[in-house]
Structure 1
């Protein structure tokens, strides 16, 4: 069995590792545009902030490892054409310019995603950079050394993490986003306002509800222009979102309007023997029961693993995702899973929510912390479809529990009565997960 893999970050790395184990006789050829594999881009902000000293620690697999296992690694090779029906592809060596032709029995497309790059005038100025791969990380570090005024465009997870890292490095930081709140897609206002308040206390300039219209400067960026103002900048980092890298099979396999490749529960595309995984794909989203584009490393690793298990026989279905994620910004420990109320409304789902603020330990304990938690559910049947948590103490793992609840279609009634242990060092006799579900039940009883 001859297997071709296009792309080797999280999904590709997981697929290759498992194919080596499951099918030792398989011939594996990998085509990767970069000179490295398995880069953890979520660690870029930690690298920028000096938490991680050695960037080599942001890799968990290597080209050398794969070569030792007999994998043909075509590094710095770009696949320029691919015919999924004829099962052949052409790859260009980016160092020599030479092209080569290859055939395959099975194809795994793990081409990932790429940052949105809107056509903003001045985008080609020096020090206007992207934030995605290892080369970007090195460039951000190098260019930030001499930068005084840093502008981050995009208030998603990567953007807010970079803002914290730059501020702690003594930079003057401005965060620009077209939405009126940071982390708007992931969290409700009760969970974003504490972070915004901390940013302002740290002297970070929040330029929200603004759209970038131009970058100005001679050769290097000096100023960012928006529809509401202008901001000095020696360095601009663009973090406004990602799009799926699926152009190589455009028109050959079924996709969403966004270009995200549609796969079945066994990661097979609309064409037999052609599989896809990771950020180039749509995933089955359990809260809505529909495919959605949710680029996350956790999804990519699971999908890559599942591809390998299903290459010969369809035996291991994908269980879907909840889009579960966590974030630490200064003293704020935040996590979310599933839908917010606004996201549910956009998806055409009628929901209600329950919210509590409480200390997590009994009042007699000498040390305590406040926890805020919100549960989103469908009132007709009580099905849980989302949750958010924030606290100065770390309760982010509780969202993993709620992710399991969503995956298994648990109701607020079931969660309210779930058996969680009690020990004063860790919680109250009624665990906060039980408590928020009981609050949801009380809300529904009043509505009857």
Structure 2
């Protein structure tokens, strides 16, 4: 069996590792535009901030490791065309420009994503950088050392992590986003407000609700001009978001409107013997109950693993995802799963929510911390569809618990009565997970009485 793999970051690496165990006689050809594999881009901000000193630690697999196991690693190779009818692809050696044809029996597309790059005038100025791969990370580090004013465009996870890292390195930081709040896609306002306040206390300028119009400068970028102001910039890092890197196979497999490849529960595309995984494709969202584009390393690893298991026969279905993620910014420990109230309504769901803000231990304990926890649920079914937490203490694992609940269609009533232990060192007699679900039940009981009164 000849297997061709296009791209080798998280999904590709997971697929290869599992294929080596499952199909020891398979001939595996891997095509990767870079000269490295398995780069953890989520560690770029830690590298910039000096938390990670050796960038080589941001890799968990190597080209040499795969080659020793018999994998044909075509590094610095770009796949220029793919004929799924003939089961052939064409790849160009980016160093020699030589082009060669390759045949396959099974094709795995793990081509990942690429940063969104709007056609902003001045984007080609020196020191306007992207933030995605190992080379971007090294360039950001090198070019940020002598500068004073850094502008980060995009207030998603990577953007705010970089803003924190640059500020802690003594830079003057401006964070620009077209939305009115940071982390707008991941958290509701109650959870973004504390982080914004901390940013402002740290001297980070928040230019929210603003769209970048152009970059200006002579020998390099000097200013960022938005529709509402202008900001000095010696360095600009673009973190607007990511798009599926799927232009190569456009028109040959079914896709979402944004270009994300649609796969079934066994990671097979609309074409026989063609599979896809990771940031290049959509994944079934258990919360919204529809295919969604959620580019996360965790999703990519799971999908890459499943591709390998289902390559010969469909034996292991994908359980769906909740898009669970976590984040630490300064003193804030944050995590979320499923849908926010905002995203739930965009997805067409009618939802309610419950929010608690409370000490996590009994008040008699000499040390304590406040936990803020929110539950989002479907009004008609009471099915839990999302949750968010923030605290100075670490309660992020609570979100993993709710993630399991969402994947199993748990209701607020079931969560309210779930058996969690009590010990004063760790929680109250009514665990915060039970507590927030009971708050949701109380709200629904009140809503039911109000509806009865109207009738």
TM range (shorter): over 0.9
Q: For the residues of structure 1 that align with 2:434 and 2:272, how far apart are their CA atoms? A: 46
Q: What is the correspondence of 1:36-435 to structure 2 with a 5 Å cutoff? A: 36-435=36-435
TM-score by length of 2: 0.98
- The runs of 4+ residues in structure 1 deviating greater than 2 Å are none
Q: For the residues of structure 1 that align with 2:288 and 2:54, how far apart are their CA atoms? A: 41
1:374-402, CA deviations, whole angstroms, 9 ceiling, x for partnerless residues?
Answer: 00001211100000000000000110001
Q: Secondary structure at the match of 1:47?
A: helix
Q: For the residues of structure 1 that align with 2:111 and 2:252, how far apart are their CA atoms? A: 15
TM-score by length of 1: 1.00
Q: For the residues of structure 1 that align with 2:44 and 2:222, how far apart are their CA atoms? A: 24
Q: For the residues of structure 2 that align with 1:26 and 1:167, how far apart are their CA atoms? A: 49
Q: For the residues of structure 2 that align with 1:45 and 1:84, how far apart are their CA atoms? A: 39
1:311-367, CA deviations, whole angstroms, 9 ceiling, x for partnerless residues?
Answer: 011000000010000000000000000111111111110000000001101111111
Q: For the residues of structure 1 that align with 2:190 and 2:349, how far apart are their CA atoms? A: 21
1:63-103, CA deviations, whole angstroms, 9 ceiling, x for partnerless residues?
Answer: 01100100000000000000112100000000111011100
1:7-48, CA deviations, whole angstroms, 9 ceiling, x for partnerless residues?
Answer: 000000000000000000100000000000000000000000
Q: For the residues of structure 1 that align with 2:423 and 2:85, how far apart are their CA atoms? A: 60
Q: Secondary structure at the match of 1:186?
A: coil
Q: For the residues of structure 2 that align with 1:401 and 1:84, how far apart are their CA atoms? A: 42
Q: For the residues of structure 1 that align with 2:342 and 2:196, how far apart are their CA atoms? A: 20
1:405-430, CA deviations, whole angstroms, 9 ceiling, x for partnerless residues?
Answer: 00000000000000001111111111
- Residue 219 of structure 1: how far off its partner (Å): 2.3
Q: Secondary structure at the match of 1:420?
A: coil
Q: For the residues of structure 2 that align with 1:382 and 1:21, how far apart are their CA atoms? A: 43
Q: For the residues of structure 2 that align with 1:100 and 1:294, how far apart are their CA atoms? A: 34
* Runs of 5+ consecutive residues of structure 2 not aligned to the other structure: 449-455
Q: For the residues of structure 1 that align with 2:298 and 2:53, how far apart are their CA atoms? A: 24
Q: For the residues of structure 1 that align with 2:85 and 2:262, how far apart are their CA atoms? A: 17
- Residue 125 of structure 1: how far off its partner (Å): 0.3
User: What is the aligned-residue RMSD (CA, Å)?
Assistant: 0.4
Which residue of structure 1 lines up, in the alignment, with residue 451 of structure 2?
none
1:245-298, CA deviations, whole angstroms, 9 ceiling, x for partnerless residues?
Answer: 011110000000000000000000000000000000000000111001010000
- Residue 53 of structure 1: how far off its partner (Å): 0.2
Q: For the residues of structure 2 that align with 1:17 and 1:221, how far apart are their CA atoms? A: 43
Q: For the residues of structure 1 that align with 2:381 and 2:152, how far apart are their CA atoms? A: 42
Q: Secondary structure at the match of 1:221?
A: coil
- Residue 135 of structure 1: how far off its partner (Å): 0.2
Q: For the residues of structure 2 that align with 1:32 and 1:337, how far apart are their CA atoms? A: 32
Q: Secondary structure at the match of 2:20?
A: helix
Q: For the residues of structure 1 that align with 2:240 and 2:299, how far apart are their CA atoms? A: 20
Q: For the residues of structure 2 that align with 1:54 and 1:423, how far apart are their CA atoms? A: 40
Number of aligned residue pairs: give it.
448
